[in-house]
Amino acid sequence: MSQELDALYQEIILDHYKHPHHKGLRDPFEAEVHHVNPTCGDEVTLRVHMADAPDGVLRVEDVSYDSVGCSISQASASVLTDLVIGKPVDEAMAIHESFLTLMQGKGNVEPDEEVLEDAIAFAGVAKFPARVKCALLSWMAWKDATLSVVGPVETLEESK
């Protein structure tokens, strides 16, 4: 009983929940989105700020957010910002893809710690179908906000 719970509520998740990183809405930003989980009411308002680095690569400069929700959704937003801030946008999109695959894997996907770092703690969430949406809320908001600025992801890949 407690083991199952511990698989869901990893220490890393509870730490991020109690002490979320990068929380709060900040300027500047190019896009802001508001996503809700209609079944439970969890909400996130999320802003993205991107800029071309000196090497000409578009980078995630900042992701800021304001949110209400459960420990899983809050911790997931915190981990997201740690992972994508400072990364080239296409690399951040690849991390997003990897997290999505993990979450939709029903617990059968082995997470790559090199790519996902703290986010591997969410591997246990994938076994609780009712909680997958909680974990994905801010990630979907980030993708939505980012794509509203850079256009469809195909464009990104074509430009590689």
| Residues paired with 47 in a beta bridge | 32, 64
User: What's the min distance (Å) between Cβ of 122 and other proteins?
Assistant: 14
Rounded to the nearest 5°, which phi and psi values hold at 36? Answer: -130, 155
Distance in angstroms (rounded) separating the CA atoms of residues 27 and 128: 36
Is 63 within 8 Å of 142 (Cβ atoms)? yes
Q: Which of 44, 48, 72, 92 binds other proteins (CB under 8 A)?
A: 72
Between residues 77 and 147, which has the closer beta carbon with respect to other proteins? 77
**Could you say which of 25, 53, 68, 94 contacts other proteins (CB under 8 A)?**
68
Q: Which stretch binds other proteins (CB under 8 A): 38-46, 85-93, 110-118, 150-158?
A: 38-46
Least Cβ distance, residue 104 to other proteins (angstroms): 19
**Is the Cβ of residue 17 or residue 99 nearer to other proteins in the bound state?**
17
Residues 90-149 that bind other proteins (CB under 8 A): 128, 131, 134
Q: Could you tell me the two tokens for 53?
A: 């680095």
Element (H, E) at 60: strand 58-68
Six token digits for residue 72: 């899983």
Please state the closest distance from residue 41 (CB atom) to other proteins, in A: 4
The H-assigned helical ranges of the chain are 2-8, 11-18, 71-84, 89-103, 113-116, 129-150, 153-158
Count of residues that bind other proteins according to CB under 8 A: 21
Binding residues (CB under 8 A) for other proteins: these are: 1-2, 4-5, 8-9, 14, 39-43, 68-72, 74, 128, 131, 134
